[in-house]
């Protein structure tokens, strides 16, 4: 098993059977080819009142693995509209971020955003559809 990879459903099934048969953590770890600390952590963090259940453990691990935080510009619609407008007027992300810090816009209630966050939003986020074509790269 590659280092750092998530436990598979088969791994969790073997852990569940091992726990039910009262096998030791090191023995279970040897069977699935993982470190005993990974097996111990899985059992400790995913065991409920009824013991270790692989279906519940897989669901909880999946929920934990999902990214929960959104970009600032994806969360704040007013700030995103302001950034879109400024980009369409020809300002660079660096200029927009600098202006928001130096001269805060009253409608934004003091919100600011870094140029890195603007670029990330443009390339990967919701800004891709409207803003990417307005930013020119120097060569």
* Count of domains observed in the chain: 2
Residue 3 maps to a domain: no
Residue 30 maps to a domain: yes
Mean model confidence pLDDT for the chain: 84
Q: Quick one: average pLDDT of 42-71? A: 83
Q: Closest by alpha carbon to 117, among 73, 56, 58, 77?
A: 73
| pTM metric for this prediction | 0.50
Which residue segment(s) compose the domain that 52 sits in? 9-65
* Whole-number Cα distances in Å, 129 to 83, 102, 105, 106: 13, 28, 25, 27
pLDDT in tens, 127-138: 666 666 666 554
Residues 28 and 77 in one domain: no
pLDDT in tens, 76-95: 889 989 998 898 888 889 99
Residue 4 maps to a domain: no
Which of 22, 46, 65 corresponds to the end of one domain? 65
Residues 55 and 32 in one domain: yes
The alpha-helical segments, DSSP class H, found in 89-134 are 93-102, 115-124, 128-131
Helix or strand (DSSP H, E) at 48:
strand 47-48
Q: pLDDT at residue 114 above 60? A: yes
Residues 55 and 81 in one domain: no
Q: Are 110 and 79 in contact (CB under 8 A)?
A: no
């Amino acid at each position: 098993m590659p280092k750092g990879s998530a436990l598979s459903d088969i791994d969790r099934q073997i852990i569940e059977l091992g726990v039910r048969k009262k096998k030791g953590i090191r023995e279970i770890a040897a069977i699935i080819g993982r470190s005993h600390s990974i097996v111990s952590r899985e059992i400790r963090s995913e065991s409920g009142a009824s013991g270790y259940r692989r279906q519940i453990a897989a669901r909880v691990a999946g929920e934990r693995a999902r990214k929960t935080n959104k970009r600032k510009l994806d969360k704040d619609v007013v700030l995103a509209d302001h950034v879109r407008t400024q980009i369409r007027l020809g300002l660079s992300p660096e200029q927009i971020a600098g202006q928001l810090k130096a001269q805060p816009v009253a409608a934004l209630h003091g919100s600011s955003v870094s140029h890195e966050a603007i670029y990330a939003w443009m390339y990967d986020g919701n800004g891709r559809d409207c803003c990417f074509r307005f930013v020119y790269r120097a060569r």
